[in-house]
Amino acid sequence: MKLPILYYGNPILRKKAAPVTEITEEIRTFVKDMIDTLIAADGSGLAAPQVGRLIRIFVVRIVGDDEEGWAAYGTPTVFINPEILSPSTEDIILPEGCLSIPGLRGNVTRPLSLKVRAMDIDGNIFTEEVSGWRARCIMHENDHLNGVLYIDRLPKHVRKEFEPHLRKIKSQYKK
């Protein structure tokens, strides 16, 4: 089932999400709904706060980089209570967009690679080394769990250029 996506301006997007204490049937259904929502929206990733739940879960559809250096899509991975470990000192600039901030894209500097540790939907802990677009998507979604949006990481002058559009989103999607 597709869930409604929250947009920039909604205070839930600025709150810190709580860890998942138990993977219940309800959580499993919710994760399925998150995946349905992500695919329907044709996004790269989706974090639980973006659909109104302040719990530490995100799903990512980017599986790696393709031969031309663009993001390659595949079966979504579920990350529950994720932890970002050992980010590389080497940074990379990549363009980011966000399903909660429609119509905008901005270049963001972040580490090139990192390790992520998380729980899967069966409660198993896994660790993965990621780089490129997949790493980028994981960092973007992980930010959502802490109430951080990619626009917060833009240089000041770029953020300023974004302001009129951001205000428009805020007013357009206000309940």
CA–CA distance from 138 to each of 108, 163, 171 (Å)? 14, 25, 29
Q: What is the dihedral of CA 23, 26, 28, 30, to 10 degrees?
A: -120
In the complex, minimum distance from the CB of residue 147 to Zn ion, in angstroms, rounded to a whole number: 12
Among residues 23 and 59, whose Cβ is nearest to Zn ion?
Answer: 59
**If you ran DSSP here, which 8-state letter would residue 143 be given?**
H
Q: Which of 25, 26, 129, 141 is catalytic?
A: 141
Q: Check: CB of residue 111 under 8 Å from CB of residue 139.
A: yes
- 23 or 162: CB nearest Zn ion: 162
Interface residues with Zn ion (CB under 5 A) are 98
Shortest distance, CB of residue 8 to Zn ion, whole angstroms?
10
CB of 50 to Zn ion, least distance (A): 6
Catalytic residue list contains 141: yes
Residues with catalytic roles = 141
